[in-house]
A and B are shown apart, each in its own frame.
Chain A
Amino acid sequence: MKTTDPTARREPRGRATTEEAIRLVHVTKRFGDHVVFPDLTLAFLRGRTTVVLGQSGVGKSIMLKLILGLIKPDGGHIFVDGTDVTNLTERQLIPIRTRFGMVFQGAALFDFLTVYENVAFPIREHRRLPEDEIRRIVRAKLALVGMEGTDDLLPEELSGGMRKRVGLARAIALDPEAILYDEPTMGLDPMTADTINELILRCQQELQTTSVVVTHDIASAYRVGDRLIMLYEGRAIADGPTEAIRQHPDIRVQRFIHGDADLKAGAPHTGGGIA
């Protein structure tokens, strides 16, 4: 990913390496008295699918919104391709955001627009194209996610899985360099969840994007992830290839992977390092 924003500031310390597309350095965030991230440092590698695991409420979705600048951190720095985007204004963030696609937890389709209009929305916003060309792109993206023939439907007429697929089509409408997925399989039956996993893999293969998948669905994480990161109490306690995380010695990681309810009991743990 190459930066095009001349107003963006470069930071020598903690800057992302060429392998790292996105890097969070000592990020802190709190809401009132609730500290979400006391000190979060992690990176996402270019062209790879990184899955971020963690319990509900650990701040996984907030992390995605911090990356896009939808929420500002209280401290620390966020780098996209080595460019510090932490303190950019809404207007300065627009060129950064157009290089990302985000699939929201509930799909967040615009309920006043049809499926076609939803997918066409970012194209109309950022590209000056004739309607024929817009139609061609929208149809291609809908075909990629298996939603042909749904152009005129409204979001309220779609099932949960269909919404997620249209959300993905909208996210890839501008051929982004990175896609952020917020709980892509949450609330879906196993068959539909697997279809979504398949789509994430297909998008990764066809578009060669950097993908960040936030989930607490272990099966989905193993299926789509090249690399796993586990968040615990606002910190990354495990980070490594999928197989290494499976064998991770930290008992908090093992309990999460195996669905052990004692995880919250603060049981003693070993290791705790980055794999």
Chain B
Amino acid sequence: MSVLAPIAKVGRSVTGQVSDFGQFCVFTGQTVRWVLTDFTRWRLLRPQLYEVGVRSLPVILITGAFTGMVLAAQIWYQFQTIGRGAWSGSVINVSVLKELGPVLAGIMLAGRVGGALAAELGTMKVTEQIDAMRALGADPIRHLVVPRFLACFFLIPFLTIYGDFLGILGGYLVAWSNGADPYDYWRYSASGIENWDIFAGVAKSVFFGAALSLIACYKGFQSRQGAEGVGRAATEAFVVSFMAILIMDLFLVLLMQGIYDLAWGRFSMFE
């Protein structure tokens, strides 16, 4: 075996990844073009709104509630050891609104909807339904991707808000059951949260919804033949969406902080 073989293998892999990313960018561009120029098909959008919104709600609510409760169980205990249990309301609710709510909503949607989208479109690919659509002179991106993208894009903020609400409620119930004074708990919570925190969390979720729907649809369109190909597409859709959400989260946090600093100046506890 040539000494250059491993280098060639790495090169092929990198070229493949770059090419794949380029195709994804083209796919995204085509989707955005249809969204901006010609999408008025309520008949296609309605079932997707039901699938993404209504059917995801129980999962998001349960995840939100238990996340809030677990967070409260941990944080309340820590604050209580220094005699300031009521302060935990501020930390719990800021964590839920700014980070856990949107990120968990994105991840749960990637698992429940993203995997299903990739599997559905992958099955359509291997049963030649996507080819049939092209053969009929119709664009599969317009008919299959755009409604799914719009459903995720528009509904994830509402799902996040529902998840946030249950998270806050769950956190309070745990704190209250451990003896927190309701007045102090909510007073500290209100003092620690700004409107910007709520907006930043919800705004981030829109990016997560857009990313996970595009990744899932792209993986479905790229699915290989057979049950294994479809299964792999669904798995890849979830894994890539999961990683994309976490990576995007970091950059969005930095971006949001930059915007906040520009608009209202940097906050310091010691000024």
Residues on A close to B: CB < 8 A?
Answer: 65, 68, 70, 90, 93-95, 97-98, 100, 102, 104-106, 108-112, 121-122, 125-126, 170
Contact = CB atoms under 8 A, between A and B. Distances in A.
Nearest to B30: A90
Contact of A108 (B47, B129, B137, B139): B129
Interface of B is mostly: helix
Contact of B137 (A65, A104, A126): A126
Contacts of A68: 134-135
Contacts of B133: 110
B136 A109 contact: no
Interface in B72-131: 124, 127-129, 131
Contacts of A122: 136-138
Contact of A125 (B127, B128, B138): B138
B152 to A, nearest CB: 17
14 contacts: A65-B131, A93-B137, A95-B137, A97-B134, A97-B136, A102-B132, A104-B128, A104-B132, A109-B132, A111-B127, A111-B129, A121-B138, A125-B138, A170-B136
A110 B135 CA distance: 13
A98 B137 contact: yes
A152 to B, nearest CB: 16
Contacts of A70: 131, 134-135
B134 A125 contact: no
B228 to A, nearest CB: 18
Nearest to A102: B135
A112 B131 CA distance: 15
B134 A108 contact: no
Interface of B: 47, 124, 127-129, 131-139
B135 A90 contact: no
B137 A105 contact: no
Contacts of A102: 132, 135
A106 B128 contact: yes
A91 to B, nearest CB: 9
A104 B124 contact: no
Contacts of A100: 135
A121 B131 contact: no
Contact of B132 (A95, A98, A110): A110
B189 to A, nearest CB: 45
B129 A109 contact: yes
Given A108-B129, A121-B136, 7 more contacts: A94-B137, A102-B132, A104-B132, A110-B124, A110-B133, A126-B137, A170-B136
Nearest to B141: A90
